Structure 1
Amino acid sequence: MSPPGSMPWRFVSALSFTQLISYGTLFYAFALLIEPMERELGWSKTALTAAYSLALVSSAFFAFPVGRLIDRGYGRAVMTGGSILAALFLALWAWTDHYLPFVLIWLGIGAAMSAVFYEPGVAVLASRLGLLTRRGITIMTLVGGFASTVFIPLTHVLIEAYGWRGALLVLAALNLAICAVLHASSIPAAPTRPKQSDESHIAARPASDPRRVLKKPAFWLFVVTSVLQGIISTGIPVHLIPILLERGFTIDAAVAAYTVIGPAQVAARFMTGFGERAMSLRGIGVATMALSVLAFALLPFVPGGSWLILGFAGLYGAANGMLTIVRALLPPELFGREDYGAIQGMIAMPVRIAMAGAPFAFGALWASRGNYDAVVLLCLGMAVCAFGAFMLNLALAKEP
């Protein structure tokens, strides 16, 4: 544990950098790999995104045991092992020519996701930083927000230079040579028994009954909001490049628009994390939902080749970036600070299930209609519903 007021910058920087690589290689790169795999192997977008969706189901399945291991002090083993698994399965993906092994590989990638993405990263940060956890989360998500900015163009360059198989081998090497090494060298290894007086281990204190929130309509409205936004935030990154190509943008223009999302996420997270005196968390939540509505209201009217697509990318990125912090920090304000972990778990389960089905559902909707117009309109409808549910949530949360 770091001394009060002292930020362990090497530790935070290492975890932040590994988040950037993990999300870039395991989450964002897939969007650029769909087209070349479809051309070479003849697999449909629906089949490809179905395997991706199974990875998210796998990730949800492993989330609880991974969290328990981290709570017991095994964060170093979990995150190092997750990076090794990521490298292994990315390398296996590069050599696959058959669909069943491809599906099994993505189940393994899901297990790796559960060990290296934000959830385990936040848990490891909290166990080390104590009262500095909020600042550490902000820094980590700021750096992680550049994942699309770095890895969408990088993956594009790698595919152009080495083909999609060669690109995957390079991405595997990054997980093994950088992420695994940083996790092994920066995260404390030995399990420690927390002191009862240590505020950083507040979750270890006796808890009241978290099921009390199940009786509150505001809780279920927050779940609805989180599910709808989760579907958008998972489905759109996988399909955005194909959406833009279909609307008449070149691959270079589509990649350029995609790279705007990262800086927009980072700018929004910076304002959210360090500007709490200027705007409350509730106000930030309202702004998040409003930006999402504006983004998808704009997209249908952007003609192919128009620079306005950068406006959509900026609005979508800002909403997505703010959402990460709002999800983590707003529930205690709405429902009380007791049983934080249990309440977050109750919220996370339906969200992850919905997120797992989003890429496949968007792909299936595209296949049934022959274009992405219905997907764009669906996202607009979900954004509007999420905004309405969130506003009603705030109104009900004020009630005792």
Structure 2
Amino acid sequence: MSPSGSMPWRIVSTLSITHLISYGTLFYAFALLIDPMERDLGWSKTALTAAYSLALISSAFFAMPVGRLIDQGYGRAVMTGGSVLAALLLVVWAYTDSYPVFVLIWLGLGAATSALFYEAGFAVLALNLGLLARRGITIITLVAGFASTVFIPLLHVLIDRYGWRDTLLAMAALNIGICAVLHATGIPAAPARPKHTGESRSVAPSTSNPRRVLAKPAFWLFVITSVLQGIISIGIPVHLIPILLERGFSIEAAVAAYTVIGPAQVAARFLTGFGERAMSLRGIGVLTMAMSALGFLLLPFISAGSWLIFVFAGLYGASNGMLTIVRALLPPELFGREDYGAIQGMIAMPVRITMAVAPFAFGALWAWWGSYDAVIVLCLGMAVCSLIAFMLNLALAKEP
């Protein structure tokens, strides 16, 4: 598609809606289902969250093959199949009383989410939109950024009125009745492959190989940056309120600070996506890492009750929001536009594995140290190291 072409709103609106539903039902819903499942089934929170963490690990191992299939033009089949699989597993979950089956369900949901979450949607956009992918990715993240705002209160009402099992059936209906249908009708079919005529044989065959990036130091620096920021992005939301309570903030102040994160993410994504003329993507990346480091440098000096906690929340949320855009759009600049989906999958694998253990690791560090001070220092160290790795990455990218 020409960079001067108009935005193909059909695919962008399709993926915006399906990402909103997928994240709402397959990511945010779990937090609301823990307590009623614990009461009804007698399974501990540790057992429940362990199964959830396995889904992140499962999704890591499916990330590259899913990306490769999308690169080959099978985005419609991959994302439609992911929604159907998610719906079926949610139905099985609604009727199960067996913990081993519950674990298997989440291993399967990990495979489904690898075909439904951002990396897959971004790969479909990159294949179909070309240079317009940046604007499309921004729109999707803006819409999906409201997944918790829409689905947390909606699912809370459903669970309270109908119970968690019927809520799971409603979630399944959304995945198959809306997401699967939209994926099947709104994503273009696989492009026709050229026939091997005598003329075409004279053209050198494609030497595309996503593993070529494994030999590039810049790739590993980008992975390091993504892993460190991924640990922060998944570990801190779980522990932020306990951190603030330990530092003397009231529960009301802690919750108020937490609510700043979401709007800051959305605002930063909007400015990042539509302000490309003001700052290059590489400059936005540097700003992203610097804001993360600045936030954790500020946090230890914020006294209980200080309004500066909202500054920290804003810096943290904005950095997270911008990071989504940077991770989606910078790899093509650094590593080429070929094999976008597979390369994103290769980056996602270590990121998701480390994200799976981050909440437990932060909790273990708190228990060992006796306070959250060690967690704050660790996050500051990771934020600074991610900034350094990113700067080295850009320096290497300038080399011939």
Residue number in structure 1 paired with 2:51: 51
Is residue 2:275 matched to residue 1:262?
Answer: no
Tell me the CA shift for residue 121 of structure 1: 1.2
Is residue 2:149 matched to residue 1:149?
Answer: yes
Contact 1:148–1:258 under 8 Å retained in 2: no
Residue number in structure 2 paired with 1:112: 112
Residue number in structure 2 paired with 1:382: 382
Between 149-158 and 288-297, the greater mean CA deviation after superposition:
149-158
Tell me the CA shift for residue 48 of structure 1: 2.9
Residue number in structure 1 paired with 2:284: 284
Is residue 2:296 matched to residue 1:296?
Answer: yes
Contact 1:82–1:113 under 8 Å retained in 2: yes
Contact 2:68–2:339 under 8 Å retained in 1: no
Tell me the CA shift for residue 271 of structure 1: 1.6
Is residue 2:313 matched to residue 1:313?
Answer: yes
Distance 1:219 1:269 in 2: 24
Residue number in structure 2 paired with 1:199: none
TM-score by length of 2: 0.81
Distance 2:316 2:115 in 1: 27
Contact 1:46–1:360 under 8 Å retained in 2: no
Equivalent residue letter for 1:281 = L
Contact 1:288–1:322 under 8 Å retained in 2: yes
Between 85-94 and 222-231, the greater mean CA deviation after superposition:
85-94
Is residue 2:137 matched to residue 1:99?
Answer: no
Distance 1:168 1:205 in 2: 48
Show the 5 A alignment for 1:24-39. Answer: 24-38=24-38
Residue number in structure 1 paired with 2:171: 171
Equivalent residue letter for 1:185 = T
Deviations 1:356-390 (Å, cap 9, x if unpaired)? 33344345545666775544443333222212322
Tell me the CA shift for residue 189 of structure 1: 4.2
Tell me the CA shift for residue 95 of structure 1: 4.1
Show the 5 A alignment for 1:117-132. Answer: 117-132=117-132
Tell me: CA distance 1:128–1:395, structure 2 relative to 1, closer, same or farther (3 Å).
closer
Distance 1:21 1:261 in 2: 20
Residue number in structure 1 paired with 2:180: 180
Q: Any idea what SS the aligned residue of 1:116 has? A: coil
Q: Any idea what SS the aligned residue of 1:206 has? A: coil
Between 260-269 and 108-117, the greater mean CA deviation after superposition:
260-269
Tell me: CA distance 1:305–1:159, structure 2 relative to 1, closer, same or farther (3 Å).
farther
Q: Any idea what SS the aligned residue of 2:6 has? A: coil
Distance 1:136 1:148 in 2: 21
Residue number in structure 1 paired with 2:9: 9
Residue number in structure 1 paired with 2:200: none
Tell me: CA distance 1:72–1:9, structure 2 relative to 1, closer, same or farther (3 Å).
same
Distance 2:257 2:356 in 1: 25
Residue number in structure 2 paired with 1:201: none
Q: Any idea what SS the aligned residue of 1:277 has? A: coil
Structure 2, gaps ≥5 residues long: 197-203
Between 218-227 and 15-24, the greater mean CA deviation after superposition:
218-227
Distance 1:156 1:262 in 2: 19
Residue number in structure 2 paired with 1:87: 87
Matched residues, number = 393
Residue number in structure 1 paired with 2:201: none
Contact 1:153–1:255 under 8 Å retained in 2: no
Tell me the CA shift for residue 47 of structure 1: 2.9
Contact 2:25–2:171 under 8 Å retained in 1: yes
Residue number in structure 2 paired with 1:356: 356
Q: Which has the larger radius of gyration?
A: 2
Tell me the CA shift for residue 116 of structure 1: 0.9
Show the 5 A alignment for 1:184-195. Answer: 184-189=184-189, 192-193=192-193
Deviations 1:57-84 (Å, cap 9, x if unpaired)? 2112222332343334432232222122
Share of identical aligned residues, percent? 82
Equivalent residue letter for 2:82 = G
TM-score by length of 1: 0.81
Residue number in structure 2 paired with 1:222: 222
Residue number in structure 2 paired with 1:138: 138
Q: Any idea what SS the aligned residue of 2:48 has? A: helix
Contact 2:64–2:349 under 8 Å retained in 1: no
Residue number in structure 2 paired with 1:200: none
